[in-house]
Structure 1
Amino acid sequence: MPFRLRAFIAASIAALVAVALAATPAAASDLERGAGLERYADQELTWGSCGGFARTADEEKTFADARYDCAYLEVPLDYSEPDGKIARIALLRQKALDPAHRIGSLFMDPGGPGGSGVSFLPAIAGIIGDGELAQRFDLIGFDPRGVGVSEPTIDCSNTAEIDAERADVDVDTSPEGVAQTEEEYKAFAERCVDRVGLDVLANVGTRDVARDLHIAHHVVGDPKLTYVGYSYGTAIGAKYAEQFPTDVRALMLDGAIDPSLGPVESRLTQSRGFQRAFDNFAAACVQQPGCAVGTNAADASARLQQLLRPLITKPVPAGPGRTLSYSDAMTSVITAMYAQSLWPFLSEGLTKVASGDGTDLMRLADSYWERNPDGSYSNLLEAFQVITCADTVPIMDRDVARQISEQSIKLAPFYDAGFGPSNALEQCSFWPVPPTSKPGPVRAEGLPTVLVVSSTGDPATPYEDGVSLAKQMGARLLTVENDGHTVALQGANPCADEVATSYLVDLKLPAKDKTCAAPHA
């Protein structure tokens, strides 16, 4: 998810899930070897009410359901100093409906980075219903370190600062515009240092999230991990596989990233994916009367920008006391690309913008930013940026930055604001701590065969990335004909749900890579 639109146009949105992972020596025996982690491995969780874990009024109602209980898992903030500061990882659990035939715990992560597994678990559990997974597993959602209600929490910006960020169009690629953008990047980094602390910023990367999972599954009594990760959650799963390959029971990674990509390609891969998704949206839209992007799908990118660029200088009303900026309008388009079900809402919203009403597009943008009804925000996008910088080798060469921006505009003209390529450096170029991972293919000797799921029309994690990750991990690849970001266990494709359930419950995989066709409308 882009923290700034300028960064988005420069294709650093590719960092949303293209988190670089590096091979790490296996550490499966750390808990048994006496690395100072015994106090964490031997802890007993205190499961109880989830009331204190809710961040919104809606969550208070959801979490009050007796089927859910919650706990905090203690882990070292810095694994090199296990006797130092403690971090607490929030867990929300739905206990197995058939305890007599319980297999163990199934840990789940929705992605991001920055997505809350605590918030996600009731939603995915509602889709799973009382099927085999719910019968045989305790379903556990967790907030990775720094995220959601885990402690300490990444909280770099207040509500007013986020509102100002959204209103700042930030598309100027002139030297003055680049300087302004980079000053804002520096200001954000300074706020994170002041409000979060260097020790936290240095220890929120995916490497350490995987270590937390290693402790978590041992503490709940599972000798090996059973895990479902979506989007960025696949990065957590891949990193776990590298560090603890023989401690894996089952991994299902849906919406996979390709950790082997170099710094330029990793930032361009989503440009292709989102343009492909927009082209698919446009092809459907032009078949409908009054389509806001015209009657010819080939011209849709240009028509979109023709419609939205006036917002750069003149935002339109978007509800009481609010106006829709160009930045928020483009965020709304990106949001709708994540799910085909949002296409009609986007089409109607674009039509309303043409008549001066930005309300519908603002709703889409608000959902992306996780803006609450009272105007406050979750820490999703702050955590996204901080964790991305913990995991990503920064671009420090302005010629490379310009190359990325130029290629991104060519690959995805639908988000070309018309100011030309930029040589602005990235947020992570001004980060105060070094990354804890670097690019490289997954190496996980001793890993059992796991399942990678990839959708043919996924905008955020393009299909090709899943193909590549499956090869690196020696995994079985499940291809799903789907125009959306992730698909398995979500009720959208019965074939994919069946394959995933059979694997997670019985460890049964197709004899070879399999394709699930799109279900009939």
Structure 2
Amino acid sequence: MIRPARRPAATVACLLVPVLLLAACAVPPKNQVALEDVGKSSSATEGSSAAASGAPDGFEDFYTQPVEWSDCGGFECATVDAPLDWHEPGAGSIEIAMKKLPATTDDPQGSLLVNPGGPGASGIGLVESTSNFGFRLRAAFDIVGFDPRGVGQSTPVTCVDDETKDEFLTTDYPETDKGIAQQIEAIRQWGKACAENTGDLLGNVDTQSAARDMDMLRAVLGDEKLNYLGYSYGTQLGATYAGLFPGNTGRLVLDGAIDITLSPDQVAAEQAVGFENALRAYVEDCLAGPDCPLGGSVDLGLQQIRAMVNDAAAHPIATSSGRSVTKNLAFYGVAMPLYNEANWSYLTTALREIFWEGRGDTLLLLADSYNDRNADGSFSSNSEEAFRAINCADDRATEDLDKMKQLAADIVAEAPTLGESFGYSGIGCADWPYPPAKKEFDVHAKGAAPIMVIGTTNDPATPYRWSKALAGTLDSGFLVTYEGEGHTAYGRSNECIDGAVEDYLVDGEVPDGALTC
């Protein structure tokens, strides 16, 4: 599986889908601005009766619970209870952790919930990097990040120890019947461990349940409407919310959108082409500059990268740490900088080391950043566990081996450089202990307020076509286009995008006609 989206410290979100090679996404944060002194004394917020009136039968206590905020280093932190199962009021509860960046004015409009994507990325981590948000947003809203159910500081999905996880992310499986069988068994054991260590939460981490949590958060925060900024997978979460609660939908911005009508197999195929296009743009840029380690034409440069990644399966690349870069890790290392063109120089450095010096230190560093792996072998998040669990709770790709083989061949034909890493989507949820959730929301979100959908024209992880499709699927969707490279746009593109987002969220201004920045 590859992982959709996160935006730690104002970087990128990333959507990657279930594949034979198991991947994730993270990039180095851009510089943070100094946090203003916005800390407030501890306080309790009661969910408003008007907001709570929409609570589903049997869940009123969750909607009306008080929020006990406490100071946590210039922010405010709180934990609230959510139902384990939104269909069974008596099934028990889990915890949802929140972190608030209080508004810089004394009279904010309300709360702005934010999600960086994943699935499996931390909204708490997103809020902690204050440079993600423009000054107008910070003045107008209390910005609230939350870790969705199964993620991070909320009640988490727990599976295996760090050593087993490291092996899981590092091991290469050949595309042979034996190799596929070995991977299916590895994933079967992973799922078994998740079930043993997580319990029934594992069957209730689907996106619809997380969207229901967001409506509860809206209520306990005292907001009559949900205002929301979501990146990558966060667009799927936001669109799901609008489909479940169109009457409670306020101003939603969905940046780096997912086409929620696609099957997992379609997502894998189109995303592979997105990464192929992004890598081509990188190679063109590299060849036009000094000291590029690639040679010849753009096509030859792409072939050199493909050969390096594939060769790592038989000949892992040595590093000064004593660890080696396998094919899996080589893929992670190449994919990660493509989420933001500001990080292309990291890939150039990595390729120089490999082609000129025969070592993979920087490529391994990029892969470890992608996987949230620390230098001591521990992991800084449960993003891999949550990513797999949430994806498997939402939908499944075909598990027919013959169909998977044909789909994998089709993907490589369209995306020859990295396409091998996007095939065999159905393996990612092999023998998963819980079935996927039944779809219960209106994909058109009929009756919702206007919803801004932002697409970047050469986004590798969520291709631009997906943003156009989501804007068209949502009855009230409207498209804003950023002409550029990288994944997502607000906070990392230009003033045109930032201004449009803030005009909409703060003032409710919808662009007059199609807006391209």
TM bracket (short chain):
0.7 to 0.9
Counterpart position of 1:482: 484
Tell me if structure 1 keeps the 8 A contact 2:25–2:336: no
Alignment of structure 1 residues 85-100 onto 2, 5 Å: 85-100=92-107
For residue 400 of structure 1, report the CA deviation from its aligned partner.
2.1
- 1:162 aligned residue (161, 165, 180): 165
For residue 165 of structure 1, report the CA deviation from its aligned partner.
1.8
For residue 422 of structure 1, report the CA deviation from its aligned partner.
7.1
- In the alignment, the residues of structure 2 paired with residue 185 and residue 468 of structure 1 have an alpha-carbon distance, to the nearest angstrom, of 32
- 1:408 aligned residue (411, 427, 435): 411
Partner secondary structure for residue 481 of structure 1: strand
Q: What 5-or-longer segments of structure 1 have no aligned partner?
A: 17-27, 51-63, 517-521
The change in CA–CA distance for 1:33 and 1:342 in structure 2 (over 3 A counts) is closer
2:207 paired with 1:193: no
- In the alignment, the residues of structure 2 paired with residue 242 and residue 425 of structure 1 have an alpha-carbon distance, to the nearest angstrom, of 27
Counterpart position of 1:70: 77
Partner secondary structure for residue 270 of structure 1: helix
- In the alignment, the residues of structure 2 paired with residue 400 and residue 513 of structure 1 have an alpha-carbon distance, to the nearest angstrom, of 40
Tell me if structure 1 keeps the 8 A contact 2:24–2:371: no
Paired amino acid for 1:464: R
- 2:109 aligned residue (103, 109, 132): 103
Counterpart position of 1:149: 153
The change in CA–CA distance for 1:13 and 1:345 in structure 2 (over 3 A counts) is closer
For residue 15 of structure 1, report the CA deviation from its aligned partner.
13
The change in CA–CA distance for 1:9 and 1:424 in structure 2 (over 3 A counts) is closer
Give % identity: 34
- In the alignment, the residues of structure 1 paired with residue 79 and residue 252 of structure 2 have an alpha-carbon distance, to the nearest angstrom, of 23
Q: Deviations over 1:157-178 (max 9, x none)?
A: 21101221233122x1222111
The change in CA–CA distance for 1:283 and 1:73 in structure 2 (over 3 A counts) is same
Counterpart position of 2:8: none
TM-score (norm 1): 0.87
Q: Deviations over 1:239-292 (max 9, x none)?
A: 000000010111000010001123532221101111110110111111134423
For residue 372 of structure 1, report the CA deviation from its aligned partner.
2.8
Alignment of structure 1 residues 311-350 onto 2, 5 Å: 311-350=312-351
Alignment of structure 1 residues 298-447 onto 2, 5 Å: 298-354=299-355, 355-377=357-379, 378-415=381-418, 425-437=426-438, 442-447=443-448
Counterpart position of 2:137: 133
Paired amino acid for 2:166: D
Counterpart position of 2:11: none
Counterpart position of 1:21: none
- In the alignment, the residues of structure 2 paired with residue 7 and residue 487 of structure 1 have an alpha-carbon distance, to the nearest angstrom, of 21
Partner secondary structure for residue 303 of structure 2: helix
Paired amino acid for 1:468: A
- In the alignment, the residues of structure 2 paired with residue 118 and residue 424 of structure 1 have an alpha-carbon distance, to the nearest angstrom, of 30
- In the alignment, the residues of structure 1 paired with residue 424 and residue 100 of structure 2 have an alpha-carbon distance, to the nearest angstrom, of 46
- In the alignment, the residues of structure 2 paired with residue 139 and residue 424 of structure 1 have an alpha-carbon distance, to the nearest angstrom, of 36
Partner secondary structure for residue 152 of structure 2: coil
Counterpart position of 1:500: 501
Counterpart position of 1:115: 121
Counterpart position of 1:55: none
For residue 91 of structure 1, report the CA deviation from its aligned partner.
0.3
2:63 paired with 1:46: no
Tell me if structure 2 keeps the 8 A contact 1:14–1:269: no
- In the alignment, the residues of structure 1 paired with residue 440 and residue 218 of structure 2 have an alpha-carbon distance, to the nearest angstrom, of 27
For residue 90 of structure 1, report the CA deviation from its aligned partner.
0.7
Q: Deviations over 1:120-176 (max 9, x none)?
A: 1121x22435x111011000011000001101x112121101221233122x12221
- In the alignment, the residues of structure 1 paired with residue 25 and residue 51 of structure 2 have an alpha-carbon distance, to the nearest angstrom, of 32
TM-score (norm 2): 0.87
Tell me if structure 1 keeps the 8 A contact 2:392–2:436: yes
- In the alignment, the residues of structure 2 paired with residue 70 and residue 104 of structure 1 have an alpha-carbon distance, to the nearest angstrom, of 17
- In the alignment, the residues of structure 1 paired with residue 94 and residue 179 of structure 2 have an alpha-carbon distance, to the nearest angstrom, of 39
Q: Structure 1 stretch 248-257 or stretch 366-375: which is displaced more? A: 366-375
The change in CA–CA distance for 1:179 and 1:301 in structure 2 (over 3 A counts) is same
- In the alignment, the residues of structure 2 paired with residue 362 and residue 257 of structure 1 have an alpha-carbon distance, to the nearest angstrom, of 29
- In the alignment, the residues of structure 2 paired with residue 15 and residue 82 of structure 1 have an alpha-carbon distance, to the nearest angstrom, of 35
Tell me if structure 1 keeps the 8 A contact 2:52–2:60: no
Q: Deviations over 1:426-445 (max 9, x none)?
A: 12232111111459971211
Partner secondary structure for residue 211 of structure 2: helix
| RMSD of Structure 2 on Structure 1 (CA) | 2.5
- In the alignment, the residues of structure 1 paired with residue 244 and residue 265 of structure 2 have an alpha-carbon distance, to the nearest angstrom, of 26
Q: What 5-or-longer segments of structure 2 have no aligned partner?
A: 4-15, 27-49
Q: Deviations over 1:400-439 (max 9, x none)?
A: 2122211111121112569xx9768412232111111459
Q: Deviations over 1:455-502 (max 9, x none)?
A: 0010000000000000111311000012010011x1431100000000
- In the alignment, the residues of structure 1 paired with residue 466 and residue 220 of structure 2 have an alpha-carbon distance, to the nearest angstrom, of 33
- 2:178 aligned residue (165, 176, 179): 176
Counterpart position of 1:276: 277
Partner secondary structure for residue 286 of structure 1: helix
- In the alignment, the residues of structure 1 paired with residue 438 and residue 165 of structure 2 have an alpha-carbon distance, to the nearest angstrom, of 28
- In the alignment, the residues of structure 1 paired with residue 386 and residue 420 of structure 2 have an alpha-carbon distance, to the nearest angstrom, of 27
For residue 295 of structure 1, report the CA deviation from its aligned partner.
2.6
